[in-house]
Structure 1
Amino acid sequence: MQRTAATRLSNILNTISKRPLVFQAPLCNPNKPFVPVHAHQPSNKMSFSMKTLGAQEAIELDKELMSSGGYSLDQLMELAGLAAAHAIYKVHPLSNGQRILVLCGPGNNGGDGLVAARHLWYYGYKPTIYFPKKGKNEIFERLSTQLQKLGIPFTEDYETALKETDHIVDAIFGFSFTGTTIRAPFDAVIAAMKSSPIPTTSIDVPSSWDIEHGPPSEGPGKDFAPDNLISLMAPKHLVKYFKGRHFLGGRFCPPYLEEKYGLNLQGLYKGVDQIAELPRVE
């Protein structure tokens, strides 16, 4: 009797093993194929509903962060630069090349670039800094000293540096840039960056772009379109003209300011991520 039971069990197992496995999803529409959604690959067809900021709103938000919010300027630079470094690591892994050229301007965007360079060095990259008009501000002096102590080189020859890098970080002008006139040496630097085949990531605002109206219609920045953009705190109005990979960074805005400026950032950042990739604006 035991042998008969064993034989039956063996026959059942043999029959099952010969049948193809079928997974059923009773809640799915059987007439439509299942398409997996990958959280790290936002669809370009998604609608972009996040609020964007103009120049005045961006300035006021920064002021409130440094007054009622209790942040200092160097804290904001540190957090912005950290987010920028995360975005660069995302779009340009070390396997794509370690050499990173960071083009810095005299404003706060330049400070963000210096901070990003420091973090990138710790991630294993080899940054080089072009910073022709160093601010005499104590913050810029300390940031520059930090890089020098790591052996990160500063160069005055941006033309050669552009030919000897694997990725360009545009930290020249930020949202406070106004007008169409770009003075030397940045006019030539932006023109050279535009002509370079090396991929570029801009911090907050592509240099020479107007925060409200996007790329300029003339001048050295005409037709400049970076491959990647890392918006800080909130996207600016210009993102509707941007067609590359777009990230948001600045995971430190307190809820009362989110509500005041209508940013709706809750749930946007995942886990310990300092950045969130956003869909392209169509």
Structure 2
Amino acid sequence: MSGAEPAEAPEERSFLSAAEAAALERELLEDYRFGRQQLVELCGHASAVAVAKVFPLPALSRRQRTVLVVCGPEHNGAVGLVCARHLRVFEYEPTIFYPTRSLDLLHRDLTTQCEKMDIPFLSYLPTEVQLINDAYGLVVDAVLGPGVEPAAAGGPCTRALATLKLLSIPLVSLDIPSGWDAETGDGDADDGLRPDVLVSLAAPKRCAGRFSGRHHFVAGRFVPEDVRRKFALRLPGYAGTDCVAAL
């Protein structure tokens, strides 16, 4: 009598649903005992590394080294604050626009770190798009993450997104382009953005399948191999000591 047939291995894929991405994060926090601040730090550092790969400092003029980092009040905003701090360490010249500040202690600590490193914070975002185009070499979109609607982030964030859509300088979005539906990508023609660079955090979300910009990176080297296998992730290998990989 033959034994039971072995269960089929899950089909490998490059993108996760919003529910799967949340389950992966829970696995890291609860089973592997990563700390929330630890994950934000890893993602923010890797995001800054991705920026440096696409826009290497030696190739930039003084003006092009200026980076505007636009942060929202949720998880992506915290990653943006860390990204700005590391860009400063890498000798870029970041400025932060953080219109709806979170009262969360982690956000407050990260804000203090940026302030102590003399990273300027804008009190308002100019509505005249050309002023931003002239002042900065690129913009980092850390406004909305998966599952965060523009209205939930507050009016200032919604107005900032409307301005960012009109910019002609390069745009780098963290995790998902703000305003996109994490599953379908719907909204990119309306409230969302069309970034030149996308940095997927931990693993790409389904909407990344619709990304058509120049560079797509995954910042997930910290995800243990067992977790990658559990979620059947088929992603490129990381070269050397790199913390990001091009997709």
Unaligned runs of 5+ in 2: 1-11
**Counterpart-to-counterpart distance in 1, 2:116 and 2:223:** 31
Matched, 1:146 2:109: no
Counterpart CA distance in 1 for 2:132 and 2:22 is 32
| Counterpart for residue 69 of structure 1 | 32
1:252 to 222, 229, 233: 222
Amino acid of the structure 1 residue aligned with 2:92: Y
Hey, what's the Cα distance between the residues in 2 that align with 1:52 and 1:67? Answer: 22
For structure 1, the 5+ residue unaligned runs are: 1-48
Q: Provide the rounded CA distance (Å) in 2 between the counterparts of 1:197 and 1:70.
A: 42
Please give the root-mean-square deviation of Cα atoms over the aligned residues, in Å: 1.9
Name the SS of the counterpart of 1:90 in structure 2: helix
1:155 aligns with 2:118: no
Contact 2:78 2:107 in 1 (8 A): yes
Once the two structures are superposed, the pairs formed by residues 94-173 of structure 1 within 5 Å of their partners are 94=57, 95-96=59-60, 97-159=64-126, 162-163=132-133, 164-173=135-144
Q: Does 1:268 align with 2:240?
A: no
Q: Offset of 1:256 from its aligned partner?
A: 2.0
Aligned to 1:53: 16
Q: Aligned with 1:109: secondary structure?
A: helix
Aligned length: 227
* CA drift at 1:50: 4.1
Q: Deviations over 1:32-83 (max 9, x none)?
A: xxxxxxxxxxxxxxxxx74211111111111111000110100000000011
Q: 2 CA distance for matches of 1:230 and 1:145? A: 25
Say which SS state the counterpart of residue 257 (structure 1) adopts: helix
Give the direction of change, closer, same or farther, for the CA distance of 1:102–1:176 in structure 2 (3 Å limit): same
State the percentage of identical aligned residues. 38
TM-score, normalising length: structure 2: 0.86
Q: Residue 230 in 1 paired to residue 203 in 2?
A: no
SS in 2 for 1:185: helix
Contact 2:68 2:96 in 1 (8 A): yes
What SS is found at the alignment partner of 2:24? helix
2:210 aligned partner:
241
